[in-house]
Amino acid sequence: MAEPVSVESRAASRGTVSEAATEGRERTRPRSYSAAYKARILAEYDGMDKTGKGAVLRREGLYSSLVSEWHKQRERGGMAALAQPVGRPPADARDRTIARLEIRCTQLEQDLTRARQVIDVQGKLSALLEQLATSSAPMSGGEPR
């Protein structure tokens, strides 16, 4: 069965959402869960049948993939592992700086290549114009025979 779609989400997909409809909303942060909460939910989840598990997920607003990840964490290291946040670790500021500088270096190398090509074309154009100027210059000594 398909999930209900709000009027605002349908309008957003068509690009017709008014600014007033989206004005008061802030971007939500991902939820974080304590190790005790994870352990309590896992104990309750493991003691349920299939329909009971679904009820726990709906009641708590969780996805089964998140509970599966919590199971893996618990198998790896118990409560200490459950205390670790799920997801990608935050990027190191140094790594972000290196990535930004590598992109900038690539852009500058492309600019340099383009500038060298322009200089080469300008040199060829200058030589061509000089050749045309010397070949079309009138000969000294009068009119041609």
Q: What is the pTM of this model?
A: 0.38
Tens digits of residue pLDDT in 3-32: 554 545 544 544 444 555 556 667 776 777
Residues 63 and 101 in one domain: no
CA–CA dist 45, 55 (Å, integer): 9
Number of domains in the chain: 2
CA–CA dist 112, 118 (Å, integer): 10
Domain holding 103, by residue range, is 92-125
Residues 76 and 61 in one domain: yes
CA–CA dist 123, 138 (Å, integer): 25
Low-confidence ranges of the chain (pLDDT < 70): 1-25, 29, 78-87, 137-145
DSSP 8-state secondary structure symbol assigned to residue 4:
P
